[in-house]
Chain A
């Protein structure tokens, strides 16, 4: 096979930091090449070097592409040679139509006048290639994230892409949308498009990739043939140590009943006729970790948020008992008083005040604990923040650091600290390890285990089934707003969960 891309000894330094240290990457024509590495390993920097975001001269080393030395000065230089990157955060304009987005910056126009006929007909062709049948005039914010991802790919195809780079393409997608996307990648490969995929999800890497390059701390660690490669082998190279146990051990204890939900019903806030949560009942005991499995859109987050102070939905009915007594959870502060805590799915926009300090965020949900008669006691507040920093091993120079400057794993620890300080009986964790690297995930799991050892009841919502299987005692399976099964984690497998979802 001929080599399409060869990056040799790429070194990129930022003031004081060597982000890339003689990295080598070799991608063959027509293959799918996966790049794996922890957050901060240098994957994104490498792709920015490749695409000309960091222009030639700002790094050391050589890039050979398509048989010639490539010296890209800007992003459009690399695009004109057929290199297209699709970023984690989609770059679509939600208020414009699919067709307008696909040809944004590349409009089909004659002397500045849009040629709508051509724009629309070409859009239909491109959409067909990625398996979409939506009308080209549909506004992008009316279609789901999965389809938006496909529109991005269609946009790339419109630019006659030769090398398509996907940065964490399935991070925001649910299981079957991810599958569709991966299948599309295989199809594109059959049509001769070369792909680079950056992903945390090793199952996906094994599914699509031909070759895997592992990067750690800005250096190439290994280049592996994906055939017959085990996930553990990739993880070992990524973290630099053997991670035989990805989930820490925890003794199974189920104490007294802590939280019981009965007959919970919720309707959609904007579409009054749509019932989103249908007659759900569940319970959690002290020391238990109970999982909720289900695809995105099955209503897991909506369930959690409606329980937590009716923060989502309308016409909410049903009873919620804590330690056997019905409690009022109609407002967030009442839910907190009743002993509930909810760690949100999206920590940046729903969990933290990024411009404020660790101390500010830690005490926010329980300011009564560090004040008297409405006046804050600063010294005590600092003490509390320090205590949780030590207990959760948050890596930061001081608790006066802005949380916006912390890594994802450390931010999540601050969110956990905030809720632990409310001394909850029940902790609801919504995607607690999303976007966190492998090492930090293990730490979060250990914290969860410590909490259950202290007798807290934990509810864990996750899209990653291995995580649920590894962490939970029991798993509720959710589909289209209802529970379709309850499994003991010892008997549960990924296949059984999926089959419960599919057969309903």
Chain B
């Protein structure tokens, strides 16, 4: 008698039925917008000022970068509690190499990324091939690498870094046009300068989003797959593109595209493609959805699990470098309890604790929701005590909303 409960929605309009079935995706987008509007109002417009938007990118880039890897780990059915410590450890090691030993920056960056990868491999090995629960292995890793960074730094901060290293985080992509050529535009918008490259990237990206969306729709229509109603499609795209153009416009009236935003954007595109359009991505979802069935379908489940942790280690190392470059110093506290922000972002973004579901876009939006709240509450001068409480409640609410939706769909 299990397959007979789906006819319930017959009485509702198809639009409402569709909205209900996809509440999670729309809900996330609306939540982000609502939070941004709310903080824009209560901070008296500070949130959306060009300098603050630039800051938002700089402050959240390392969380978003780690959330990309964490999403994959969580989809594969695991968790990584060590990322905050690994990130601090790699940052500390980079500082030792660059500041104390005087290694050239590019070499130190490569060694640091390799170090993160090795750390990821070391943890992934026990999880994948020895079937030791990832919670335990990475809890151990969290303690070990926190301890190692304390030992490396001898409890002190190391810095400052040479300017080339700082560029990783605080640098901006130079504009394609000389300053003199854009003065007219700057005057038009009443800004001190105008970065054509940043605006151009926004416009090109917007066009690409619409074009790819339309192509996917045409393809689905050809195969009789349920389509998003067209007014929903256009409304959603209008919101996304509007937001994107707004953000890039703000960036272009400040200093243009931060280097780190470019790194982040490229990684988001790569990982979205990897998870949604490649064989390896598909297999990770299968592994998290039902490990035994995946294995009996010829999927090398151990190797995939291992790779998920290797990848996580690499991204944690990258985040560690960016974080150190931003602070211009490596401190023993770097990355402390950041793993919780990263994991929270992934779950707010709709991933399931039991594995097998969740999307990169969701994790990114989840990280932005956390980031905007952090930033907005700090501007408002809300104490760290209340901030923690509010963030905790938002995480809980997001997951309850998820479970509630699932139950209603039966």
Contact = CB atoms under 8 A, between A and B. Distances in A.
- Whether A and B are associated in the same complex: the answer reads yes
Nearest to B298: A333
Contact of A374 (B280, B292, B299): B280
A311 B295 contact: yes
Contacts of B293: 344, 349-353
Contact of A353 (B10, B223, B289): B289
Interface in B202-228: 219, 222-226
A407 interface: yes
A367 B1 contact: no
A65 interface: no
Contacts of A45: 1
A246 B297 CA distance: 31
B300 A333 contact: yes
Contacts of B296: 308-309, 311, 332, 342, 344, 350-351
Contacts of B278: 371, 374-376
Given A42-B1, A355-B356, A376-B277, A336 B290 contact: no
A368 B8 CA distance: 39
A418 interface: yes
A332 B8 contact: no
Interface residues of A, number: 48
A349 B6 contact: no
A484 interface: no
A17 B226 contact: no
Contact of A376 (B1, B224, B282): B282
B85 interface: no
Say what secondary structure dominates the interface of chain B.
helix
A375 B295 CA distance: 21
A378 interface: yes
Interface string A241-272: 00000000000000000000000000000000
A351 B357 CA distance: 18
A349 B292 CA distance: 7
A379 interface: yes
Contacts of B223: 379, 382-383, 386, 399
Contacts of A311: 295-296
Of B219, B292, B300, most buried by chain A (CB within 10 Å of CB) is B292
A398 B219 contact: no
A336 B298 contact: yes
A356 B286 contact: yes
Contacts of B292: 349-350
A382 B218 CA distance: 13
A14 B4 contact: yes
A16 B290 contact: no
A308 to B, nearest CB: 7
A364 B7 contact: no
Nearest to A383: B223
A477 to B, nearest CB: 26
B10 A355 contact: no
Contacts of A353: 285-286, 289-290, 293-294, 356
Contacts of A344: 293, 296
A15 B5 contact: yes
Nearest to B10: A16
Interface in A272-289: none
B283 interface: yes
A371 B294 CA distance: 18
Interface in B335-389: 356-357
Contacts of A364: 282, 286, 294, 297, 299
B231 interface: no
B374 to A, nearest CB: 32
Contacts of B295: 311, 332
A354 B356 CA distance: 10
Interface in A16-41: 16-17, 19, 40
A423 B220 CA distance: 27
Interface in B250-303: 277-280, 282-283, 285-286, 289-290, 292-300
B3 A360 contact: no
Nearest to A40: B1
Nearest to B410: A405
Contacts of A379: 219, 222-223
Contacts of A15: 5, 7-8
3 A-B pairs closest in CB distance: A16-B7, A353-B289, A333-B298
15 contacts: A16-B4, A16-B8, A40-B1, A311-B295, A332-B296, A349-B292, A353-B286, A367-B283, A374-B280, A375-B277, A375-B279, A376-B279, A378-B277, A386-B223, A405-B3
Interface of A: 14-17, 19, 40, 42, 44-45, 308-309, 311, 331-333, 335-336, 342, 344, 349-356, 360, 364-365, 367-368, 371, 374-376, 378-379, 382-383, 386, 398-400, 405-407, 418
